[in-house]
Amino acid sequence: MTDTTTKYIFVTGGVSSSLGKGIIAASLAKLLQAQGYRATIQKLDPYINIDPGTLNPYEHGECYVTDDGAETDLDLGHYERFLNVPTSQANNVTTGRIYQSVIDKERRGEFLGKTVQVIPHITDEIKHRVQILGKSGDYDIVITEIGGTVGDIESLPYIEAVRQLKWEMGNENALVIHLTLIPYLSAAGELKTKPTQHSVKTLMESGVQADILVCRTEHKLSDSIRTKLARFCNVKREAVIESIDASTIYDVPNLMLEEGLDKVVLEQLKLESHVPDLTSWNNFLAKHKNPKSEVVIGLIGKYVELQDSYKSILESFIHAGAANEVKVKVESIHSEYLQPENIATKLSHLDGVLVAPGFGERGIEGKIEAIRYVREHQIPFFGICLGMQMATIEFSRNVLGLSEANSSEMDSETPHPVIDIMEAQKKITEKGGTMRLGSWKCDLLQNTKIASVYNTTSIMERHRHRYEFNNAYKTQLENAGLKATGFNPETGLVEVIEIPTHPWFVGVQYHPEYKSTVANPHPLFLAFIKAALKHKTKK
């Protein structure tokens, strides 16, 4: 049954990839939420991987993890950061997952002897997935972002599903926003509309008429360009929305408000439009844009060339920086090139160092060297997942004197596996979706740095790992000054380590960066930036 109680908005992309459909979707959702509507966003990805969990960050940027343990597209991170509402498995669907469920059904004999085909069986499964969130009754409006660019072969079943849904739901219940690029030809000194005309036409060949055009542009759209776009693309004049390059993604909701995107949407969906309450959002923006001072943080990882690989960490710094009224200048440092000889030159000027999550051996010795330097030089240190594991190894080697200490991920023969494979992981052979994933409870010891950071002793945080702190070394490490201060209450797994005699040295096995939002900056990032600020003042 087609859902007619929820309103659906589809966001397609034309002309080019990387136009920022996720940010437009999140900004629109923010404007709707700020007018009292319960809005959520979903991303449909036309690739065949079941999820991005097995994708290299070079291919696909960061893998974002939800509370329910889904390994998802990084756009879901934007949705949560903008809306401050958790997403779930239902918010990200790939072609791989669609086909897998159709094939599983076929094997169970549920198609009763029929030939299973792209239309209607794959498109029916897409339509079903689109409506899961709406049918839950939790939302008034569901925004569905279709990955890829219109005209791609792999997007066709999705566009067909949108065509059918729009027909069944009617224009008052479903609308299509087409995000497109208006290129500027400097030789001609002109903005060009032709690529957009063609991509709208490509959509129409599949029977889908765009209702709203959001036009990415480096220059303002003149009246005549807007009129031309409206006329050639069959949309109302007020439904041509300019999306000019912004200095921060957090400006986009306001830019969309000025252009009236929310108004056109609500009018077509026959919903009341109000003045959105963006007070706290704008407070955040004001602080973000007017910092009183600056701290320099080293982000040590192995994917530093790519902004997207550590997306959530970088955004968490923005949230925590704004709350502390400081600009967080992040210096990306490639761990592969860190050696004892250059470590002081690379790190001595920093106000804090974050060692990033990661997998595999490449670059880990540089991470360990960096941790040694900041531990010995009293520079604030924050280790996340692999970063926490490396801190444990560093301490074991250089303080306990276990020079061959390692993680069994990096050296399966190490005599001192201070980080070891989790018991539950030992028998697992498949790679996809098999790590320790999602939200787990963690108890914090009283009178510790971590308990004071959270101001509570019971937290829930998200995980994505196979290896863990080896409890066989806990007493030795604690006696030498590295304390375990957060534990999984059921398994006793160590989730937090800290050095109480250091100004700020905290490692966490979980990923706090997935939970930082504009409305709720993460307490660990807040405290780390505060510590960096203090370090800077002392210098």
What does the binding site for ligand GLN look like in residue numbers (CB under 6 A)?
Answer: 357-359, 385-386, 409, 464-467
CB of 73 to ligand GLN, least distance (A): 17
Q: Which is nearer to ligand GLN, 15 or 435 (CB)?
A: 435
The owner of tokens 């696909």 is: 60
Active site includes 513? yes
Strands (E), 335-435: 352-355, 381-384, 405-407, 416-421
**Residue 522, Cβ density class (10 Å: 0-12 exposed, 13-18 middle, ≥19 buried):** buried
For residue 251, CA distances in Å to 83, 208, 222 come to 14, 30, 21
CB of 363 to ligand GLN, least distance (A): 12
CB of 466 to ligand GLN, least distance (A): 4
Taking the alpha carbons of 357, 461, 36, 274 in that order, is the dihedral positive or negative?
negative
Given the residues 385, 442, 498, 502, the one annotated as active site:
385
Active site includes 511? yes
Residue 520: what residue type? N
Distance CA 461, CA 151 (A): 40
Q: What is the largest CA-CA distance in the chain?
A: 75
**Nearest residue to 212 (alpha-carbon basis) of 279, 135, 167, 265:** 265
Taking the alpha carbons of 451, 454, 455, 457 in that order, is the dihedral positive or negative?
negative
CB of 511 to ligand GLN, least distance (A): 7
Distance CA 314, CA 67 (A): 20
CB 466 within 8 A of CB 435: yes
CB of 358 to ligand GLN, least distance (A): 5
CB 183 within 8 A of CB 19: no
In eight-state DSSP terms, residue 378 is: T
Given the residues 121, 160, 513, 522, the one annotated as active site:
513
**Nearest residue to 334 (alpha-carbon basis) of 311, 361, 359, 362:** 362
Sheet with 381-384: strands ordered across: 326-334, 293-301, 352-355, 381-384, 505-508, 494-498, 483-487, 436-444, 458-465
CB of 340 to ligand GLN, least distance (A): 24
Distance CA 383, CA 389 (A): 8
CB of 203 to ligand GLN, least distance (A): 39
Backbone angles phi, psi at 322, to 5 degrees: -60, -45
Given the residues 178, 416, 463, 511, the one annotated as active site:
511
Distance CA 495, CA 493 (A): 6
For residue 465, CA distances in Å to 236, 360, 361, 387 come to 50, 12, 15, 12
CB of 335 to ligand GLN, least distance (A): 13
CB of 470 to ligand GLN, least distance (A): 12
Question: What residues pair up with 146 in beta bridges, in sequence order?
Answer: 44
3-state secondary structure of 326: strand
Report the catalytic residues. Answer: 385, 511, 513
